[in-house]
A and B are shown apart, each in its own frame.
Chain A
């Protein structure tokens, strides 16, 4: 324990908290939209199944929000405790979106409270649906603001650093930094995709367990359609992010792609093993020209490689695997949702009726997509954060310079590991028990009597 490096301990604790929080933050951004859409469809089509779907998702959402709030509090304060040097500087320049993020979340929390406890309270059910709109605005807003802070860490601007003194501070310029638009877009689209796939996986699980109720089929059809839409959107946004990196943060893209030599007609490297001393790759799949096409849009474009940067400023090269895994899983999500939606489309026109679209391999593929989507989000964040190293604030402040000098960091790490294990067990068991206790069939029965 004594030789445990301070920076490593602080980074581990931060990544642990973030890695755990991101799951719930992603749910927090995506679920309100899905709930709102389901309630909308339910009211529009006067279909109780969709209304029940919205209700049940909302019920589960309360629990993920509870964990999201507490882990969000953890990361907010841990940034101060673990990276006081960064927060001191960041507070001066990027304090505005941090402050605004809290407002957005507050706004969301207020309307969430109203939404959850007023299902049967209004004469006009559309009024209840209207309450979901500010929840979405708050959820998306807080994601925008906090992502802008993260973008600022990648492309800091809006201040001048002269002899260690910060001058000419412009908080608006800092907030609207160059990395913000593409990053915000990718964070939002990936959150929507992840959530709709996780919800689809739940519906698929029930159908796989031979529950035949129409409710599950509608749930699966609805979430798969959303997944396909968001998957296309997310691919476009991810491509935009990659192009942004090629332009403004080329060392991050180069590390992710193992692109060492600046040049035109660059090859895309997928997978493989790297010999760090010779920078030779083995067993990798190389696709000619593709990196130039992806990074710049044309095969003849020049893509900057890591040879343009001194070696001590290279990000860790293992980020390549996280990048590839993220892209691979994203592709999987697209293929599965495309297949399912395509099959549904054909079957509704009386074609291919020999297969059931609820056959077991298809359902199993969708079920796997839920955890895969979460994994892809995690990989994306690891790539985004580790790919920025050695900087905590690119070009301005190194991670090692910002860490707290305080003692007992490893002990705190252990403490929080225990907390997250506890929370993970708690939230899983609560969710499982909550939904097992009142299956939708029972709720539908109960509702039909009322109707």
Chain B
């Protein structure tokens, strides 16, 4: 396998990891707030807190991993995106900072505070929306490059139907992933009441997820026909995604095997996300930057891959231990420890 393929695969794996872990977190924030609004917070918040407390620091790291994997393997990306994204990137950063710092509050039980819950809930929707816009920008048409001058065409962006569909897709996906995980988590905790509320959240967001996904297909067809063609050529991945979705939905409807259901949700997004990523190639920024033209030197590439392998060998057992202690430990989940 060539270096640029390995590089983009590593970066994409991190982004997928972020997609899942962060979605659970963002969605949980929104559900906490929504639960408060609809006076159901006493049912679901204990479960949400119990899951989030030990794992929240891990979430942000995936994003940084993605950014530095991309910059490491494709350093030219730093220039074009760096210049173009100063303003939207800073705003996203601000949201992430406010959200992250609010976890500090959680340590003395301020989760009942309405302002806190509002910020926690709203950032949970705005952050994925703004990050998804990054992928929209990469489709081309929103950045003008003239030698060293790079500019983000904000007017084009806000008028693009595709951009808005992607934002919508990001939000419903976040809510669906999060709800289906938390349903499973509540089920493990034998908390039937919370499970039923969260299960309903999962069902509410299931069909919109698929509907908006189709919408995204149709809008990318007009926005970037070339990309659409490549997507069609690997349509089996999107079919597989749909199949996984249907399986997950069937299990959740029948109140069966919530863990397996969540696994299928993860697979649903894995197929769709990697299908999207594969068909996005060779472009990092359409039409200016491709993985081949932007790839780093062999020496750096080898060093980064070695670091990645070493790092993964260290992290997988540690993550496994974390999961054993908090996510898959029935005694912890049920609040007995």
A residues at B contact (CB < 8 Å):
59, 62-63, 65-67, 69-74, 76-78, 80-85, 87-93, 95-96, 98-100, 102-103, 105-107, 109-114, 116-118, 120-121, 134, 169-172, 404-409, 411-412, 415-416, 419, 422-423, 426-427, 430, 433-434, 437
Contact = CB atoms under 8 A, between A and B. Distances in A.
Q: Chain A's interface: helix, strand, loop or mixed, by majority?
A: helix
Contact of B98 (A405, A411, A419): A419
A170 B299 contact: yes
Given A96-B307, A98-B68, A423-B101, A405 B149 contact: yes
B58 A113 contact: yes
Contact of B55 (A113, A423, A426): A113
A66 B103 contact: yes
Contacts of A112: 57
A82 B60 CA distance: 21
Contacts of B325: 114, 117-118, 121
Given A91-B71, A103-B314, A412-B87, A113 B107 contact: no
B253 interface: no
Given A76-B68, A84-B82, A113 B326 contact: yes
A77 B89 contact: yes
Contacts of B86: 81-82, 404, 406-409, 412
B64 interface: yes
Nearest to B84: A406
Q: Chain B's interface: helix, strand, loop or mixed, by majority?
A: helix
Contacts of B87: 406, 408, 411-412
Interface string B293-337: 000110110011001101100110011011001100000000001
Contacts of A83: 82
Given A85-B79, A110-B322, A99 B69 contact: yes
B64 A73 contact: yes
Given A70-B60, A134-B318, A59 B107 contact: yes
Q: What 3 pairs across the A-B complex have the smallest Cβ distances?
A: A91-B75, A84-B82, A95-B72
29 contacts: A66-B57, A66-B103, A67-B101, A73-B97, A76-B68, A83-B82, A88-B78, A90-B75, A92-B300, A95-B296, A98-B72, A99-B304, A103-B311, A109-B61, A110-B322, A113-B326, A114-B54, A114-B321, A114-B326, A117-B54, A169-B299, A171-B304, A404-B82, A406-B86, A412-B87, A415-B91, A423-B101, A426-B104, A437-B108
Given A66-B104, A87-B82, 16 more contacts: A66-B100, A81-B86, A82-B86, A84-B78, A84-B82, A90-B75, A92-B297, A98-B72, A99-B307, A99-B308, A105-B61, A107-B318, A113-B54, A415-B94, A427-B104, A434-B108
B90 interface: yes
Contact of A100 (B83, B307, B337): B307
Contact of B107 (A411, A412, A434): A434
A118 B331 CA distance: 12
A91 B78 contact: yes
Contacts of A404: 82-83, 86
Count chain B CB atoms within 10 A of each CB in A111, A423, A430 and give the residue with the most. A430
B87 to A, nearest CB: 5
B97 A63 contact: no
Contacts of A95: 68, 71-73, 75, 296, 300, 304
Contacts of A67: 101, 104
Contacts of A434: 107-108
A213 B300 CA distance: 57
A88 B79 contact: yes
B64 A406 contact: no
A113 B97 contact: no
Contacts of B243: none
Given A81-B82, A430-B107, A96 B300 contact: yes
Contacts of B203: none
Contacts of B233: none
B85 interface: yes
B57 A69 contact: yes
A447 to B, nearest CB: 18
A148 to B, nearest CB: 13
B97 A423 contact: yes
Interface string B142-183: 000000111000000000000000000000000000000000
Contact of A80 (B71, B91, B96, B315): B71
